[in-house]
Amino acid sequence: MSASLLDQAAAAASGAAANTTTDAPTGDGQPAATVALTALATGPEWHAAAHRCAAIAAQHADAVDREARFPVEAFDALKGERLLSAMVPTAYGGAGLSLAEIGTICETLAQGCASTAMIYAMHQIQVACIDSHRGASAWQARLLAQLAEQQWLLASATSEETIGGNMRTSACSVELDGARFRIEKLAPTISYGAHADGILVTARRTADAAASDQLLIVALRADTQLERRGGWDAMGMRGTCSEGFRLVATGLAEQILATPFADIADQTMLPVSHTLWASVWTGIAIDAVNRAKAFFRAQARAKPGTMPPAGLRLAEAVGLLQMMQARLSVALDAARAAHQARNGATPADAPLAAMLGFASDMNTLKTSISATALQVVQQVLMICGMAGYKNGTPYSVGRHLRDLHSAPLMINNDRIAQNIASLLLAQRPAAPGRP
Ligand SMILES: Cc1cc2nc3c(=O)[nH]c(=O)nc-3n(C[C@H](O)[C@H](O)[C@H](O)COP(=O)(O)OP(=O)(O)OC[C@H]3O[C@@H](n4cnc5c(N)ncnc54)[C@H](O)[C@@H]3O)c2cc1C
């Protein structure tokens, strides 16, 4: 029964994993990072806990990046603070935090280690999909409770070989045999797949179904075989360990979310992903700008009474960063309003124009924040010059830049821009005199 499956996975999570992967090495013995987090932990307990975890993540960020290894120390801390279940409803043992609060945690973590923040964001996206679309499934409810109890980490396998970044189509399909399922997927990228306790996998409903008729399945570690097909020696986000795998998973039919994946993607996965990714990228930019400010102040102190030459660039970087923060804040308001509208009305009641507008806004959020964050850090590099270019100084931003170069590619901005264009075309202006 479902409970036994979950219990098997609990055993796997505590070290008796039955999958075919090997774990990354733990511990790095590296010295603490030169730049510590300066922000004081204020506000509620989860906020202070996020700052404590970010400080630990920052200590190991350079080693995680250099060795392209999973940020073990940061995740031990996150689990210790019970932040992996921060978005799980309180009824199932979580903290029941809102999307905006989770975004704040992502932003805070990203100021210490971008890979840690991105892994945390990707995990919370999976939690949001399960929680929003579990319906009356007892298995999915129990999964959330187990996740909170064991501090499980969830990963995602939406992309697929031959399909690329178009997550709204799948080549692989679910094989149902009575009450059990089996899926086999060639996944080019599963971030931290080898470290996850469960993976949410997209697949076609049946072997005969159209490529876009997809389901989302929760594959548990104990019943999943992962055969490595590619490594992760990447430009940035090196700690995400986003390797390629042949994934073979079995389990109970109840592990398949009842909601079609098209709805899960539109209502939850896309808006939550774009919001939390944007929070991560904003956090990276905040840390870079803090380094630029420190550099600028040091320059000013060295020559009292003179304005350092990079003043204009710093003003521009700060202005761009504030625009990112404002854009993110607008997106969070829109996501909250859409969530309330969905809960208060049937989907058929939601006006089509509002749905199209929300979808295009969530897409422009991703394309604009990903591009602007890179501009900000590029400005910081110009401000700090060689001190920013070299690794290991208090003003280094090489890792920030390399990590941020993943942002426009993580679902290619060109692909998203085409979707935005289609949505804008469908948003016909209302005729004069009509609502
Ligand atoms: C750090 C990181 C972590 C990731 N983690 C995961 C994960 O955990 N799970 C997962 O499933 N995936 C993950 N991915 C993969 C990601 O979600 C996309 O699948 C991937 O970014 C798309 O890869 P691609 O650029 O090779 O493919 P495609 O999107 O197929 O694009 C290939 C190229 O074709 C062009 N192109 C394609 N379509 C269009 C279009 N419509 N308009 C214009 N140009 C187009 C672009 O130039 C693009 O470079 C991750 C990616 C990154 C960077």
Say whether pLDDT at 32 is over 70: no
Average pLDDT over residues 14-20: 35
Say whether pLDDT at 84 is over 50: yes
Which residues span the domain enclosing 188? Answer: 156-255
CB 370 near ligand 1, within 6 Å: no
Given the CA of residue 166, which atom of ligand 1 is nearest to it?
Answer: 29
CA atoms of 222 and 172, how far apart (whole Å): 21
Q: What does pTM read for this prediction?
A: 0.90
List, for residues 246-298, the tens digit of each pLDDT value.
999 999 999 999 999 999 999 999 999 999 999 999 999 999 999 999 999 99
Say whether pLDDT at 360 is over 90: no
Burial class of residue 399 (count of CB atoms within 10 Å of its CB; 0-12, 13-18, 19+):
buried
431: in domain: no
CB 240 near ligand 1, within 6 Å: yes
Nearest CA residue ID for atom 52, ligand 1: 410
What's residue 232's pLDDT?
97
Tokens describing residue 5: 């499956």
What's residue 43's pLDDT?
66
DSSP conformational letter for 175:
E
Cα of 410 vs centre of ligand 1, distance in Å, is 5
Higher pLDDT, 393 or 351: 393
348: in domain: yes
Burial class of residue 367 (count of CB atoms within 10 Å of its CB; 0-12, 13-18, 19+):
buried
CA atoms of 381 and 385, how far apart (whole Å): 6
CA atoms of 164 and 153, how far apart (whole Å): 24
Cα of 167 vs centre of ligand 1, distance in Å, is 9
Given the CA of residue 163, which atom of ligand 1 is nearest to it?
Answer: 30
Cα of 15 vs centre of ligand 1, distance in Å, is 32
What's residue 272's pLDDT?
96
CB 158 near ligand 1, within 6 Å: yes
432: in domain: no
CB 412 near ligand 1, within 6 Å: yes
- Regarding whether 287 and 245 lie in a shared domain, the answer is no
- Regarding whether 372 and 335 lie in a shared domain, the answer is yes
The candidate with the shortest Cα–Cα distance to 127, out of 168, 91, 159, 84, is 84
114: in domain: yes
CB 159 near ligand 1, within 6 Å: yes
Q: How many domains does the structure of the chain reveal?
A: 3
What's residue 344's pLDDT?
66
List, for residues 196-243, the tens digit of each pLDDT value.
999 999 999 999 999 999 999 999 999 999 999 989 999 999 999 999
